[in-house]
């Protein structure tokens, strides 16, 4: 790989890594872990939605829901099916600190 731009440096050629880079790498690892946790939580919720849809004879995909989600809209297209209290408990149950062993 000699002479290839961007190729890995040999360890012996590597200058000392500034401590700020080490700190930033640790922060990046923490963010990655949090993202993984959130994606796992999200998957639990969408899987449960899928189970409930299958039980209720609903189609697996609801285009209006996924479209409003990708626009960043928090408003449910089916407000009669949502309540404030259930929403609040859903949010709190997805906190990384409170649900490390709920999988
Ligand atoms: C969450 C809903 O639908 C689900 C949402 C998905 C998503 O956002 O990735 C995927 C599958 C759907 O079953 C819903 O209809 O409320």
Mean pLDDT in residue range 41-58? 97
Both tokens of 14, joined, read 């590597």
Task: Quick: pLDDT tens for 75-90.
Answer: 655 545 544 444 444 5
The reported pLDDT for the residue numbered 85 is 46
Q: Is the pLDDT of residue 72 over 70?
A: yes
Using the atom order of ligand 1, give the atom closest to the CA of residue 76.
16
For atom 4 of ligand 1, which residue has the closest CA? Answer: 46
Task: Quick: pLDDT tens for 12-47.
Answer: 888 999 999 999 999 999 999 999 999 999 999 999
The Cα–Cα gap between 64 and 81 comes to 14
Name all residues whose Cβ lies below 6 A of ligand 1: 46, 49-50, 60-62, 65-66, 69
For atom 9 of ligand 1, which residue has the closest CA? Answer: 46
Q: Is the pLDDT of residue 67 over 70?
A: yes
The Cα–Cα gap between 15 and 21 comes to 12
Which sign, positive or negative, has the C-alpha torsion 65, 66, 67, 71? positive
39 versus 100: the higher-pLDDT residue is 39
Domain boundary assignment for the chain: 16-61
């Amino acid at each position: 790989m000699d002479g290839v731009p961007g190729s890995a440096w040999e360890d012996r050629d590597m200058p000392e890594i500034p401590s700020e880079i080490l700190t930033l790498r640790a922060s990046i690892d923490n963010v990655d872990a949090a993202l993984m946790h959130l994606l796992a939580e999200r998957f639990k919720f969408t899987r449960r939605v899928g189970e409930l849809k299958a039980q209720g004879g609903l189609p697996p995909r609801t285009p209006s829901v996924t479209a409003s989600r990708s626009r960043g809209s928090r408003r449910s297209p089916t407000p009669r099916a949502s309540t404030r209290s259930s929403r609040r408990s859903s949010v709190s149950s997805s906190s990384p600190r409170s649900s490390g062993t709920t999988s």
